[in-house]
Structure 1
């Protein structure tokens, strides 16, 4: 029910512009948009959510276009063509604010939880690759690199649908971590990458 209510609040855009993101645990840009989109000029953001404040100052379009963090034509060469420190932005310079280390708001999860992805244009997925940071990585002080990650899940295909969910296990970890998700869309060679901040209890 909550998932349906959240999706019901998402903005409408044309199919040419509409894509998607992980909405739970929320990707960084989506979390900033969801929390502050309606009050993005509120000065309280600077104290209450400094990372979102910095992101809005750097480029508000990162949040307004939370569903469009994609690159075409990677041909599966995700690591070779995505430098360390640029994973959270999918190596898009316009979204570099989401690569910055700091006190990002985190979603509290258990060691087994469900990832919920919203695919506004119903592209479907060839697969998702899901990674989580190694124990000891500090998202408050470190940019994310490939060497900081463990691959925990590679899914199968998903038929076109707006709401996609799958279960993951992050056993052996506690505390602050980054969940890193790669979505290989089915309609063309189009790849999305996102970081979601989590607190594992």
Structure 2
């Protein structure tokens, strides 16, 4: 085999191997319906968000919620201090999407699809305090919607149909995208108002 061909094949194998090893770091996404705090920062609907405004898809932290995962008070930022403005309750003034109990379609925009265990959706308990950072004690720790993927890769724009529980007033939905072949998950917080 000519030397140039051998070098080209070696280079191609090296590039392919580096792409395979880099793949887990490429999985990212955010909720677009209801819009997450991260997306509202990206859109400029909320100011003083820090660098999350350029990386709404990057709220990645340890998986295993609710038994493990990010610490209480850091759930919206996935335990990553770079995204800490997402955990700031801002006195309960984050823009809230108007919703009502019943059928609802949740959507995510993924900037890189990844092998997925599940998407899970949690909601705050009645009487929670929207002026405090989100904790496990403020959430119903049984997801009201769980969509299992069994390691499959979802499309880049993915929707899940579910039913919003009967609630009144302001609440928060914590969406968790569990990655199948890494130790991480993506966390997105969406403020909603049931009226």
Normalised by the length of structure 2, the TM-score is 0.76
The match for 2:108 among 117, 121, 138 is 117
**Partner residue, 1:95:** 83
Q: What's the CA shift for 1:187?
A: 4.9
User: CA distance change for structure 1 residues 84 and 110 in 2, over 3 Å: closer, same or farther?
Assistant: same
Q: What's the CA shift for 1:168?
A: 2.8
**Distance in 1 between residues matched to 2:88 and 2:175, nearest whole Å:** 17
**Distance in 2 between residues matched to 1:188 and 1:54, nearest whole Å:** 31
Q: Secondary structure at the match of 2:48?
A: helix
Unpaired runs of 5+ residues, structure 2, are 1-22
1:168 aligns with 2:162: yes
**Partner residue, 2:189:** 195
1:156 aligns with 2:156: no
Whether contact under 8 Å (1:124, 1:161) holds in the other structure is: no
**Partner residue, 1:85:** 73
Larger Rg: 2
Please state which structure has a larger fraction of its residues in strand. 2
Whether contact under 8 Å (1:117, 1:164) holds in the other structure is: yes
Q: What's the CA shift for 1:54?
A: 3.2
Unpaired runs of 5+ residues, structure 1, are 1-14, 37-48
1:146 aligns with 2:155: no
Q: How many residues align?
A: 166
Q: What's the CA shift for 1:156?
A: 1.0
